[in-house]
A and B are shown apart, each in its own frame.
Chain A
Amino acid sequence: MASWDSALKRWITVYLPLMLFVFVLLFPFYWMAITTFKPNAELYNYKQYNPFWVKSPTLANVKKLLFDTDYPQWLFTTMMVAVVATAISLICSVLAAYAIQRLRFKGSAYVGLAIYLAYLVPPSILFIPLATMIFKFGLFDSPMALILTYPTFLIPFCTWLLIGYFKSIPYELEECAMIDGATRLQILRRITMPLAVPGLISAGIFAFTLSWNEFIYALAFIQSAEKKTVPVAVLTQLVEGDVYHWGSLMAGALFGSIPVALLYSFFVEYYVSSLTGAVKE
């Protein structure tokens, strides 16, 4: 009897709330997915159809999204901007983190602190002056504007993450190589970098996710419909006047989330461990 009681107690205090959390956290995605495949007749008729299910699924919304809008182009732009900005940021961050953590120069702690503080400067303060600069440089309405500005929040984050990662690589390995006559560059390329690969992967995923998610710069610096990134385009291009095509809007949101979700699901362990590691630093 006592064990039955404690099992019941465990259900009520642990499993039930947990199920509720999972339900609430995932429901918007379920709703997004189900709306994507609903025909209009079901979308606006809760009396005759159960809104929680699709009776006759259709690909009309997806078809409209892929063929009647610039969606593939937006996906491509977003992907390109994210990949290039991530690559630039990773190169800069690895070098900076290596210098700060491994070369131990005078004032390296201050440079590290400055980079940490740079992460705390939010884009919503910077976008107006950046917009005037972008305009002066003649980069307005060009993906270059995004590729150059995204590293401002990617570099601080990646550097911070990689400093923590370099810290965990034993210093002795580098000393051994140095005794063997290796130059510092050789050490960086052949010893430190290969060991830092897991750190690089997690920094890369974070950077890619953050660029994919970025919104305010892309909204402020890009004007032409076909050059927009997915988050901006879905919000500004798919809404025609007062008519909301919820089916294709939800399809746009769903397909825009999938690349990030896929990348995340492949590397989820790196992601979680470096996320928590970075906070614990």
Chain B
Amino acid sequence: MAVAADIWTEGEEKQNWLVRLFDWKPFLVAICLAPALGLLLVFLTYPLGLGVWLAFTDTRIGRSGVFIGLENFESLLQDQVFLMSVGNTILYTVVATIGKFALGLWLALLLNHHLPFKALLRAIILVPWITPTVLSAIAFWWIYDPQFSIISYVLVDVLGWKSTYIDFLGTPWHARWSLIAANIWRGIPFVAICLLAGLQTISPSLYEAAMLDGASAWQRFRHVTMPMLMPILAVVLTFSVLFTFTDFQLVYAITRGGPVNSTHLMATLAFQRGIPGGQLGEGAAIAVAMIPFLVFATLFSYFALARRKWQQGESND
């Protein structure tokens, strides 16, 4: 220890005032937080405020706008494409989230069994989640090709279940379901791995106790697994809802909002109006219109689940 102390103090004498400054806690705290908070203030907080301001102006690319009050929002309320994009976004979020969580939970329960090659399986299952969204979306684009879709080929030529090839992306409803399916595909791994982590924290003795009390498999799932899983489910659900609601990549890559604007989400419509369309004010207004939905969805999924968990905890005691 004495040797170590010598080494520490030796450096201290050399740059005494500087070292003392760095040992002064308020200075150290400030200097540690400055880079992170500085970057976030300039490139996150400020643009967030600027975006809200832009939503109330008629800014275009190359021309700064003037304040026009609620005009952007008023015209959006008359805009059929915007209203449809709101409907699409809600449908997309609700159906995709339900799909992801149902299948993700099922996969997590399967993985929670005693299996050979467990680590390898987990690694393989996460692959759709780590590959760049747009690149896997391009694969889906090809899978959904009207003439050479492999799904159509299997359904028509191999199984003979259908007589004609499916035009996946050509009609509004087909395109919507195709996008939702691709989104679910991408979301399953994340949900499954997170819920698996939650499942593994549940003590086996709880199941043994439930079994001794004569609980059926469903009852064990309903009264042991679900309540124990609630806290982690709440966090993952909040994240999932948030990112599904503001999704841009999948839709932009597969349909770009088509056919005839029928698959636009709010994010893709904001992009189309704002950047290539040049209507920055209107685009910002569409983006800002997402905020209330986001706050609501986040609060709902967080508090609804947190409350249920608390209720369950009470009744179990």
Contacts and interface: CB of A to CB of B under 8 A. Distances in A.
Contact of A128 (B1, B51, B134): B51
Contacts of B81: none
Interface residues of B, number: 101
Contacts of B252: 215, 219, 235
Interface residues of A, number: 94
B241 to A, nearest CB: 11
A35 B147 CA distance: 15
Contact of B142 (A14, A31, A220, A260): A31
B202 interface: no
B25 A124 contact: no
A149 interface: yes
Contacts of A151: 39, 43
B281 to A, nearest CB: 9
Q: Is the interface of A mostly helix, strand, loop or mixed?
A: helix
A2 interface: no
A92 B39 contact: yes
A43 B267 contact: no
Interface in A213-263: 213, 215-216, 219-220, 230-232, 234-235, 246, 249-250, 252-254, 256-257, 260-261
Given A130-B47, A256-B132, A96 B59 contact: no
B139 A156 contact: no
Interface in B269-300: 270-271, 274-275, 280, 283-284, 287-288, 290-291, 294, 298
A2 to B, nearest CB: 18
Interface string A134-174: 00000000000000110110011001000000000000000
B39 A152 contact: yes
Contact of B270 (A128, A159, A253): A128
Interface of A: 14, 17-18, 21-22, 24-26, 28-29, 31-32, 35, 43-44, 46, 51-52, 88, 91-93, 95-96, 98-100, 103, 105, 111, 115, 118, 120-133, 148-149, 151-152, 155-156, 159, 177, 180-186, 209, 212-213, 215-216, 219-220, 230-232, 234-235, 246, 249-250, 252-254, 256-257, 260-261, 264-265, 268-269, 271-272, 275-277, 279-280
